[in-house]
């Protein structure tokens, strides 16, 4: 039984590109221990929407992104892409639907094959998909490189190590978009880049989204980056979603004490002179091998009560298009 109701996390639009139902992912560790990295989460993404998935390391956000792509598949739950439940597909059917969703990874250089030329890397999905001859493929690669702001003539025969991190991330985006996907999953696409280059890639993703009609899941730990690119934001903590709201609303009217603490921790260059770190929360994220009973955030929460230890809070409405899983929300 899903513990996070679907209706409560549904976006307004009727055309849903991605629907995730009670997704879990458990890893078996040496010694027989089981680590539940994702503990039953549900969300939907409407056509043309960008959903930001934010949380600290170990919260399970990367596992969610990878489970969507079956890298590896989820332990339970369902991923529905444009109406097709992926768990029921054969390997061949899954391969056929794969071009509809593509992924951009964190490390721009190591996620590209060091031995291949940039043109070959961007063309690879076309080769796998088949159907085009060499000349047609080259034409598409040229279009895509151009679309991501790379000069095809300059980078065509280069290899990843000859490009900067920002340029490699542009190559990753070109490779992800060349099959015209509907859904783009970005896992920390700018976190290894310098701030000036990060801005270039964020602008590129916004442009690509508009130009190619993309729907995006944007996974990141940086709250300011996530706010900049997202329409709605889901906050994860220790394998669960604790709050979902439209981006502007989440940042101005956070209801979950964890979201409030996260936002209070981000130092701002314009206002935080000589700050006293008054609202810093103590402790660190507990081990997913032994998550706290009840609410998983209660061990660090300034508002925790006895109820939080025994009863797991469900997601419930906290305003328009806004849900929170907390017994003592801010509002």
Partner 1 sequence: MTAGALLSIRGLKSYLRTPRGLVRAVDGVSVDLAAGRTLGLVGESGCGKSILARSIMGLIADAVLDKAGGQILFDGRDLRGLSEKEMRRLRGREIAMIFQDPMTSLNPVMRVGDQIGQVLRLHFGSSKAEAQRRAVELLASVGIPSPERRARSFPHELSGGMRQRVMIAIALACDPKLLIADEPTTALDVTVQAQILRLLREQREKRGMALILITHNLGVVAGVADEVAVMYAGRIVEHGQTADLLRAPRMPYTAALMQSAPRLADPPHTRLQAIQGRPPMLIDPPAGCRFAPRCTRAAEICRREPAETTEASGERRWTCWRPLEVGHA
Task: Pick the closer one to partner 1 by CB: 9 or 262.
Answer: 262
Phi (first) and psi of residue 323, to 5 degrees: -130, 150
- Nearest approach, Cβ of residue 228 and partner 1 (Å): 4
Contacts of 143 (CB under 8 A, 6+ apart): none
Residue 267 in the binding site for partner 1 (CB under 8 A): yes
Task: Pick the closer one to partner 1 by CB: 177 or 247.
Answer: 247
Interface residue with partner 1, options 215, 231, 236, 315 (CB under 8 A): 231
Residue 266 in the binding site for partner 1 (CB under 8 A): yes
Hey, how many other C-beta atoms are within 10 angstroms of the C-beta on 237? Answer: 26
Interface residue with partner 1, options 14, 151, 268, 320 (CB under 8 A): 268
Task: Pick the closer one to partner 1 by CB: 79 or 223.
Answer: 223
Contacts of 242 (CB under 8 A, 6+ apart): 235, 236, 256, 258, 259, 297, 324, 325, 326
- Nearest approach, Cβ of residue 226 and partner 1 (Å): 9
Binding map of partner 1 across residues 134-173, x = CB under 8 A, - = no contact = ------------------------------x-x-------
> What is the rounded CA–CA span in Å between residue 152 and residue 139?
10
Binding map of partner 1 across residues 34-63, x = CB under 8 A, - = no contact = ----------------------xx------
Residue 206 in the binding site for partner 1 (CB under 8 A): yes
Phi (first) and psi of residue 234, to 5 degrees: -110, 130
Interface residue with partner 1, options 30, 92, 195, 306 (CB under 8 A): 195
**C-alpha atoms less than 13 angstroms from C-alpha of 283 in its C-beta half-sphere:** 11
Interface residue with partner 1, options 93, 139, 157, 194 (CB under 8 A): 194
H-only helix segments in the chain: 61-68, 91-97, 118-129, 134-147, 152-155, 165-177, 195-212, 223-229, 247-252, 257-265, 306-310
* Residue pair 58/288 in contact by the 8 Å Cβ criterion: yes
Task: Pick the closer one to partner 1 by CB: 95 or 275.
Answer: 275
> What is the rounded CA–CA span in Å between residue 302 and residue 298?
8
Residue 11 in the binding site for partner 1 (CB under 8 A): no
Interface residue with partner 1, options 7, 14, 31, 282 (CB under 8 A): 282
Q: Which of 78, 93, 75, 64 is nearest to 34 (CA)?
A: 75
Interface residue with partner 1, options 38, 171, 183, 223 (CB under 8 A): 223
Task: Pick the closer one to partner 1 by CB: 116 or 227.
Answer: 227
Residue 64 in the binding site for partner 1 (CB under 8 A): no
Contacts of 134 (CB under 8 A, 6+ apart): none
Residue 277 in the binding site for partner 1 (CB under 8 A): yes
Q: Which of 321, 311, 308, 318 is nearest to 256 (CA)?
A: 318
What is the binding site for partner 1 (CB under 8 A)?
56-57, 164, 166, 194-200, 202-203, 206, 221-225, 227-231, 247-248, 251, 261-277, 280-282, 284-285
């Amino acid at each position: 039984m899903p513990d996070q109701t679907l209706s409560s996390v549904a976006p307004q639009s009727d055309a849903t590109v991605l629907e995730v139902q009670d997704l879990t992912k458990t890893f078996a560790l040496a010694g027989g221990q089981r680590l539940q990295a994702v503990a039953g989460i549900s969300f939907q993404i409407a056509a043309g929407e960008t959903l930001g998935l934010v949380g600290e390391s170990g919260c399970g956000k990367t596992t969610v992104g990878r489970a969507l792509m079956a890298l590896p598949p989820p332990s339970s739950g369902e991923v529905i892409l444009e109406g097709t439940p992926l768990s029921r597909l054969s390997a061949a059917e899954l391969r056929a639907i794969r071009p509809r969703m593509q992924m951009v990874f964190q490390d721009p250089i190591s996620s590209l094959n060091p031995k291949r030329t940039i043109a070959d890397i961007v063309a690879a999905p076309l080769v796998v998909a088949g159907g085009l001859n060499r000349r047609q493929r080259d034409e598409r690669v040229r279009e895509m490189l151009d679309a991501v702001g790379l000069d095809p003539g300059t980078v065509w025969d280069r290899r990843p190590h000859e490009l900067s991190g920002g340029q490699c991330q542009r190559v990753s985006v070109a490779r992800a978009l060349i099959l015209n996907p509907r859904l783009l999953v970005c896992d920390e696409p700018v976190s290894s880049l310098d701030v000036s280059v990060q801005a270039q890639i964020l602008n590129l993703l916004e442009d690509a989204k508009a130009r190619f009609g993309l729907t995006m899941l944007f996974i990141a730990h940086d709250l300011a980056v996530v706010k900049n690119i997202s329409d709605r934001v889901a906050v994860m903590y220790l394998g669960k979603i604790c709050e979902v709201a439209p981006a502007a609303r989440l940042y101005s009217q956070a209801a979950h004490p964890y979201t409030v603490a996260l936002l209070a921790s981000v130092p701002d260059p314009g206002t935080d002179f000589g700050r006293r770190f008054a609202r810093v929360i103590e402790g660190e994220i507990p081990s997913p091998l032994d998550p706290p009973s009840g609410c998983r955030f209660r061990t660090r929460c300034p508002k925790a009560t006895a109820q939080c230890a025994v009863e797991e809070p469900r997601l419930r409405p906290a305003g328009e298009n806004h849900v929170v899983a907390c017994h003592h929300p801010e509002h």
